[in-house]
Amino acid sequence: MRTLLFTVCALLFFNTVWAQDKFTLNGYVRDAKSGEELIGVTILIEESGGGVNTNPYGFYSLTLPEGEYNIQFRYVGFKTKVEKVVLNKDLSLNINLEEETVELSEVVVTAERQDANVTSIQMSKNELDIQQIKKLPALFGEPDIIKTIQMLPGVVSAGEGTSSFFVRGGSADQNLILIDEAPVYDPSHLFGLFSVFNADVIKDSELYKGGIPSRFGGRLSSILEVRTKDGNNKELRGEAGIGLLASSVMLEGPIKKDESSFIISARRSYVDLFLRLANQKNLVYFYDINAKVNWRANNKNRFFLALYTGRDDFNFDGNFGFDWGNRTATFRWNHLFNDKLFSNTSLIASSFDYGLGSQEQSDGFQWDSNLEEYSFKQDLNYFFNPRLTMDFGYHLTYRKFAPGKIVPSEESIFKTVELQNEYALDHALYLSLQHQVSDKLTFEYGARLSVFQNIGENTVYTYLDKLDNTNPIRTDSTHYGSFENIKTYVNFEPRFSARYILNNESSLKASYNRMVQNTHLISSGTVPLPFNTWAPSSTYLKPQIADQFALGYFRNFNDNRFEFSMEAFYKDISNVTDFADNARIFFNQDLSTEFRQGKSEAYGLELMLQKKKGALTGFIAYTLSRVNRTVPGVNQGRSFLANYDRRHNLNVVGTYDYNDKWTFGGSFTYGTGRPTTLPSGSYEFGDGQIADIITERNGFKLPDFHRVDLSATLVPRKNKDKKYETSWVFSLYNVYSRKNPFSIYTRVKVDEDDNIIGDGTEKEARLIYLFPILPSVTFNINF
């Protein structure tokens, strides 16, 4: 860290000398139609060939010698704009880009620089185009970025009907999922059939699998950053969609034209309405609401407030039910201190909770759990010159973990049980420099210093044997007052990336990053359920630490119409969290005796070929990978495959714009079977009791997974007198009705008449399947 600070001081000194007789051009680049800031716009200096990109808030800054320049503003899907600038003083220049009207054969379906695959220093990153996602087949006709992410190279799905995904050998809880900078702890609706992300309000989304910038931390495997639209500040407009299981509506417009705007969107399922029509008393539904307002006070100050709330509710005949949901709030202030220093200040709140209850007289209870998080973030960008930029900042987060409380009804057999709340403070300082050393060589280097504090109020117990989970014996206890420090962990997280351009069409890239995770998911299953809880690093639970190395070759073909990438990665994780065999996870007041921590090793090769221009677009992605774990006290100390290990994954995705009315989409996905744990036998004990014999963790594999989905989108030709546009989306999910296994369980083997065979110790495995072929139709209207 000392070396890095010395480097920064030296750069500041030389920049001061270099900046004599130089001036700065800066401003924002926006969509001329909606007023939305555009992210990643290329600003190119024609005279030198150098340039910069707009930051995540649409801001750019160029420091150049005095003179006349032709400055290009290039963004795929928009008309290139050239501004002649006489730079003899510091100058502010805001740019509005107009959407490009092109012939069908020249349609471009991405929103980044056309050769970014080769020229960008970032590797192991995928940008998701929401307009393209809307053209793809979707379960029940609901576009979902999570389902698209599950088809990317390096990403593995647990199976059908889940919103969980596993990146480069990491578990699902090792993904940091953000909406407008706020973390989302459970991204699922209806147990994963849908995700919490409403496609109508998404502006931009990026998945980082490696080479993760220093401003991100807190998770080991990936960052999914989703930004919602700011709202159209030019005119009032809206969208609505009606699907088989859910409908949505969105409205956006100016509060004061060109200065402030709003956007609000709501989505709700209506399975419960069908159940009521069928005289069913069961209640099953979800909803979510997104809202945002923003105000541009002047060119140096802009304010945003973004809100999200979503919930799932299940109730069975009024006797038993459960619910869960997320809520987030983000207040952001963008401020320009001077021509080179840009600031983003954020106040963030996020919460996740779930409840489970029974109204039965004899065994009625209510079980509640929640997690709350409050953050302050100060992020700054300093633009030295077109070849050197610096990002730095400070993050502070306070978390409250309420793992669970059971309150029985008056005549219930249950007793009141409440687990201790836990609290944590998480500090982080980061610094990152992107340095273009020459026309061919660029480095990005930096570090993150994380300081994590497990704090009170809490009571920490000492055990005779902290690994004895069958009969834990407490020998002592220590009580800590409110905000009193219990345990502190300090970790240094270096980050490094490099890009070397071989020629105009190809480049080599390499990256290394260390990531640290201090929040741990308390779960023993593959798919995170809403009833899982989280715990902080503590006396008995060390931070998880991951070191990842990646090397890649990137090549564009045929005037950037095709993009090819090949990446190899190796990831080593220490203190990976697992649990003892036959662990008791829920409402265990001695849960710390169940923790087991060890090592995980993942490595693989990722190949991707994309076509981004023309009527036919899409990608082919293949991943070869392996994930091993070795955890003392688990599987008799022997290494075992992680339960989300899929050796081979192949995904083919495509859309074809047949004409201005019809667009067709299709996808094929294949994955080898994932490991699972099954009993190798059973034995009888006591008074006829049967117990399973487990000899190996994840020693069996499920059958291979594969599926084909198809879609067709019809946009009727618009009448010039109409102020709205409609579209129909027809989908076929699982075209050849493949029985893909969702889960597996064992039962006592029976004959055709359900009579137990033999002494009852012989068992058979049964597979659970979810979806056969499913047709769907969705109607959309834009106005």
Question: What local confidence, expressed as pLDDT, does residue 686 receive?
Answer: 58
Q: Do domains 2-97 and 226-782 have the same CATH topology?
A: no
Question: What local confidence, expressed as pLDDT, does residue 2 receive?
Answer: 56
Q: Is the CATH code 3.90.1170.10 the one for domain 2-97?
A: no
Tokens of 669: 């996905």
The rounded distance, in Å, linking the Cα atoms of 309 and 288 is 6
Q: Detail the DSSP E strand segments found in 109-154.
A: 125-128
The rounded distance, in Å, linking the Cα atoms of 373 and 358 is 29
Angle at 325 between CA 320 and CA 326, to 5 degrees: 170
The rounded distance, in Å, linking the Cα atoms of 131 and 107 is 12
Backbone angles phi, psi at 297, to 5 degrees: -65, -45
Closest CA to 252 of 287, 223, 218, 228: 228
Partners of 386 in the beta sheet? none
Tokens of 750: 């029976």
Question: What local confidence, expressed as pLDDT, does residue 468 receive?
Answer: 82
The rounded distance, in Å, linking the Cα atoms of 246 and 244 is 6
The rounded distance, in Å, linking the Cα atoms of 155 and 164 is 10
Question: What local confidence, expressed as pLDDT, does residue 33 receive?
Answer: 86
Q: Detail the DSSP E strand segments found in 244-364.
A: 246-256, 260-269, 283-298, 301-316, 320-336, 341-358
Maximum pairwise Cα distance, the chain: 94
Question: What local confidence, expressed as pLDDT, does residue 569 receive?
Answer: 97
The rounded distance, in Å, linking the Cα atoms of 253 and 170 is 41
The rounded distance, in Å, linking the Cα atoms of 307 and 37 is 19
Pairing of strands 91-92, 22-31: parallel
Distances (CA, A) of 10 to 6, 446, 448: 6, 15, 20
The rounded distance, in Å, linking the Cα atoms of 168 and 646 is 11
Residues in Cβ contact with 200 at an 8 Å cutoff, skipping those fewer than 6 apart: 239, 241, 248, 250, 265, 267
Residue located via tokens 């899929």: 646
The conformation of residue 457, written as its DSSP 8-state character, comes to S
Q: Which amino acid is at 236?
A: L
Q: What is the mean pLDDT of each run of 10 residues along the chain (783 residues)?
A: 54 49 87 86 82 86 88 85 88 87 41 72 90 81 88 88 88 94 91 86 93 95 94 92 89 93 93 69 86 93 96 82 92 93 96 85 79 96 91 97 85 80 96 93 96 94 86 91 95 97 94 96 64 88 96 92 95 90 78 89 96 90 94 87 91 91 92 83 62 75 90 80 83 89 72 67 71 87 86
Question: What local confidence, expressed as pLDDT, does residue 692 receive?
Answer: 66
Omega within 30 of 0 (cis) for the link into 259: no
Q: Which amino acid is at 775?
A: P
Sequence spans of domains, the chain = 2-97, 116-225, 226-782
SS (H, E, C) 608-622: EEEECECCEEEEEEE
Q: Distance from CA of residue 157 to its chain's centroid?
A: 13
Angle at 379 between CA 95 and CA 442, to 5 degrees: 70
Contact present, 511 and 123 (Cβ < 8 Å): yes
Helix (H, G, I), strand (E, B) or coil at 129: coil
Tokens of 608: 């991707």
The whole model's pTM is what?
Answer: 0.90
The rounded distance, in Å, linking the Cα atoms of 235 and 368 is 44
Distances (CA, A) of 209 to 119, 125, 377, 549, 650: 18, 6, 23, 11, 18
Distances (CA, A) of 185 to 213, 525, 528, 531: 21, 16, 10, 12
Tokens of 311: 């919930």
Residue located via tokens 């800031």: 37
Q: Is the CATH code 3.40.50.1000 the one for domain 226-782?
A: no
Residue located via tokens 């409908």: 247
> Helices in 415-563 by DSSP H: which ranges?
none
Residue located via tokens 């409205």: 251
Superfamily of domain 116-225: TonB-dependent receptor, plug domain (2.170.130.10)
Question: What local confidence, expressed as pLDDT, does residue 329 receive?
Answer: 97
